[in-house]
Amino acid sequence: MAPKMNGIGIVPEDTHICVVMVGLPARGKSYIANKAQRYLKWLSIPAKTFNVGNYRRNDAPHPSADFFDTNNAEGERKRRAAANAAVSDMMKWFKSGGVVGILDATNSTKERRKWVVERIASEGVEVIFVESNCDDEELIMANIRDVKTTSPDYVGQDPEKAALDFRERIRNYEKVYKSINEDGDEDHLTYLKIMNVGRKVYINRIQDYLQSRVVYFLMNLHIRPRSVWLSRHGESMLNLDGRIGGDASLSHRGEEYAYKLPDLVRESVGSDRPLTVWTSTLKRTIATARHLPKEYNQLQWKALDELDAGVCDGMTYQEIADTYPEDFQARDKDKYNYRYRAGESYRDVVIRLEPIIMELERSEDILIISHQAVIRCIYAYFMQKTQEESPWVPVPLHTLMKLTPRAYGTELQSYRANIKAVSTWRGKGSTAKHEDPVPEGGV
């Protein structure tokens, strides 16, 4: 297989795309931009977000609302200079192998968009505008509350004052805001307009495959606040023997975890609202989910099954190293790409997980009970782990993880069940049955 190949086989051949965000503050622009970046990187497509606000902060670290008033010439000049600096850096980045650059700013006027197109298209880069348009007050307020606590603009400030200032800032933008093609004279632009978190979507003039892929992904996003819960199955009989794969039942301690899981989940959710549970089709995940409350809808996905170890299924690492010494070494050298004989690689798992990721993005309150390699891939997606890191991430048994995507990154909380279990983590080169993960980088 060609070395340039990535998760879904896209080799972008000379395509450079600039995704230009459009929308008022608190419409989830940064959130969308970061999500898109994370997704593309997960699929091995070089992507980077250029946040104009970060450039502007060099000049004006904690600006008040009137800085954003269009009548404020000084503010306007500084914001334009920041946009220009961000675009220049992006162009440099394209030359060093970048493929999808994301320009994160409001770009809320026709003039600004015209400037962006002229500036970027002249360098042979395709421009696609992505607008998040929302008139749901509740959603906007939720976003404001989220931003005022996490935005670097308001670090160390009184939250109440910050919220007021932020609303004032939005009002200044609203005065001049024009939705894309609102006047019908921007029909020549390539754009995606998402109204009220995907309830309505406009797509205009998609030019190539990669753009369609980006649009496809963004359509699946929503910006409602939510979390995803991940857990491995309870300890299995094969885990006890240090054997991989198989379709074994839970050990005694694994059963204990299954009993404890409903409490653990309730503690983590913080309320009685029901989650939707996704398991694999293997016995040990279904058994782990079986004591969850009746009102939790449960679905089994074949795509959540453990990485298929092929001929090594059911073996210990020592047996693999004895039977297939070359394979054992090859795997440690490039664990992400190594494919077990008649089995799968991590890369293969990422490919088959793509529908799951899409479905996960458009859902709320999902609890996934799956397997070590699969959880690693999903974890890598949310936490932006590289291909070198992700196959080695420790995911201990009997632990529930809660991932909460935020505008500026994903938050992780772990809940331990305090039920003993063997460790199934394995260090590079090791054939130990049960080994304690190296402390740093632990989940």
d(CA 158, CA 346): 46
> Per the annotation, does 28 bind a ligand?
no
Q: Does 358 bind another protein (CB under 8 A)?
A: yes
> Per the annotation, does 235 bind a ligand?
yes
> Per the annotation, does 236 bind a ligand?
yes
Residue closest to 106 by CA, chosen among 162, 37, 164, 179: 179
Candidate segments 216-224, 249-257, 405-413, 431-439, binder of another protein by CB under 8 A: 216-224
> Per the annotation, does 171 bind a ligand?
no
d(CA 135, CA 23): 11
Is 1 or 73 the residue whose CB approaches another protein more closely?
1
Q: Does 88 bind another protein (CB under 8 A)?
A: no
Shortest separation between residue 188's beta carbon and another protein, angstroms: 11
Q: Does 135 bind another protein (CB under 8 A)?
A: no
User: CB neighbours (10 Å) of residue 423?
Assistant: 16
Between CA 386 and CA 405, with CA 277 as vertex, the angle to 5 degrees is: 40
Report in angstroms the alpha-carbon separations of 171 from 69, 70, 176, 177, 195.
Answer: 9, 11, 9, 10, 19
> Per the annotation, does 284 bind a ligand?
yes
Shortest separation between residue 184's beta carbon and another protein, angstroms: 12
Taking residues 361 to 390 in sequence order and writing x for each that binds another protein by CB under 8 A, - otherwise, the string is -x----------------------------
Taking residues 294 to 313 in sequence order and writing x for each that binds another protein by CB under 8 A, - otherwise, the string is -----x-xxx----------
Number of residues that bind another protein (CB under 8 A): 39
Q: Does 9 bind another protein (CB under 8 A)?
A: yes
Query: Does the annotation count 434 as an active-site position?
Result: no
Is 176 or 358 the residue whose CB approaches another protein more closely?
358
Q: Does 212 bind another protein (CB under 8 A)?
A: yes
Q: Which of 306, 344, 371, 398 is catalytic?
A: 306
Q: Which one of residues 105, 139, 215, 367 is an interface residue with another protein (CB under 8 A)? A: 215
Q: Which of 233, 361, 371, 398 is catalytic?
A: 233
Q: Does 273 bind another protein (CB under 8 A)?
A: no
Q: Which one of residues 16, 41, 213, 232 is an interface residue with another protein (CB under 8 A)? A: 213
> Per the annotation, does 239 bind a ligand?
yes
Candidate segments 53-61, 146-154, 354-362, 409-417, binder of another protein by CB under 8 A: 354-362
Shortest separation between residue 201's beta carbon and another protein, angstroms: 4
Taking residues 12 to 31 in sequence order and writing x for each that binds another protein by CB under 8 A, - otherwise, the string is -x------------------
Shortest separation between residue 372's beta carbon and another protein, angstroms: 19
Tell which positions 151-210 bind another protein, by CB under 8 A: 198-206, 208-209
Query: Does the annotation count 361 as an active-site position?
Result: no
Residue closest to 269 by CA, chosen among 382, 364, 410, 375: 364
d(CA 320, CA 312): 6
Q: Does 428 bind another protein (CB under 8 A)?
A: no
- Positions in the binding site for another protein (CB under 8 A): 1-2, 4-5, 8-11, 13, 198-206, 208-209, 212-213, 215-216, 219-220, 299, 301-303, 339, 341-342, 351-352, 355, 358-359, 362
Residues of each annotated binding site for substrate: 232-239, 284
Catalytic residues: 233, 306
